[in-house]
């Protein structure tokens, strides 16, 4: 009996350690919602970090949330213009999270994005305006799983498009936020030449053992 009581205490402690600090709210208020969680994305500086998280096919983003490791992290998302502000109008089937560390220094500062996805058939339609905002750019996103010590990735916009901007983000699909040893175990060098973006990624043993990714995001213009 005593052994059983001890086992229950140990089990309860393990569950408490595994439980998140607070439930996320990306599906709050949505009757039909599929939650999607991203990796812990590093955002250790005042330079903006971008990360795109996508819904399953046939769904649009209906709600968003994020977990932060540092109170100084400023995390927002990119939305499109239109009225009313609604899923399918302000959002599409993917959300682009924008993050930066507003104060201090923290090499392990990271956020985990969450989106709540709803069926696209339930989204609204845009109210016409005198000068409707167009969509002059498109995002070309590639996510690379880090399995090798050194990886080389080269991407370009589609034919007829031109490169406007490029960025990359480092993420870890781990239960807990990355500690310093893991956060610094990935080094990325990005170069742009003649409209082509090249990444050289160096991943140490900790990063290769974890489910680590680098997302490359191209903003392209001039397509059909």
pTM attached to this predicted model: 0.83
Residue boundaries of the structural domains of the chain: 24-124, 134-224
pLDDT at 224: 57
Tens-digit pLDDT profile for residues 74-99: 999 999 888 888 898 889 999 999 99
Q: What is the CATH number of domain 24-124?
A: 2.60.120
Instruction: Count each helix (H run) and each strand (E run) in the chain, helices first.
Output: 3, 13
pLDDT at 94: 96
* Distance of alpha carbon 210 from alpha carbon 173, whole angstroms: 7
Tens-digit pLDDT profile for residues 123-180: 544 444 444 455 789 999 999 999 999 999 999 999 999 999 999 999 999 999 999 9
Pairing of strands 110-119, 40-42: antiparallel
State the DSSP code for 132: -
Backbone dihedral angles phi then psi of residue 171, each to the nearest 5 degrees: -135, 155
């Amino acid at each position: 009996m005593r052994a059983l009581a001890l086992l229950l205490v140990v089990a309860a402690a393990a569950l408490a350690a595994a439980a998140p600090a607070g439930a996320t709210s990306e599906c709050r208020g949505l009757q039909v919602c599929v939650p999607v969680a991203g990796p812990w994305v590093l955002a250790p500086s005042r330079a903006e970090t971008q990360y795109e998280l996508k819904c399953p096919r046939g769904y649009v983003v209906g709600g968003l949330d994020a977990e932060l490791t540092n109170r100084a992290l400023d995390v927002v998302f990119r939305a499109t213009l239109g009225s009313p502000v609604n899923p399918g109008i302000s959002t599409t089937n993917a959300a682009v999270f924008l993050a930066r560390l507003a104060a201090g220094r923290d090499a392990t500062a990271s956020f985990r994005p969450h989106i709540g996805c709803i069926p696209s058939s339930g989204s609204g339609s845009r109210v016409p305006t005198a000068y409707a905002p167009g969509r002059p750019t498109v995002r070309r996103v590639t996510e690379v799983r880090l399995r090798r010590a050194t990886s080389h990735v080269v991407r370009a916009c589609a034919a007829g498009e031109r490169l406007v901007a490029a960025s990359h983000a480092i993420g870890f699909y781990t239960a807990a936020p990355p500690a310093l040893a893991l956060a610094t175990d990935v080094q990325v060098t990005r170069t742009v030449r003649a409209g082509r973006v090249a990444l050289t990624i160096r991943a140490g043993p900790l990063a290769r053992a974890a489910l680590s990714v680098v997302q490359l995001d191209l903003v392209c213009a001039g397509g059909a």
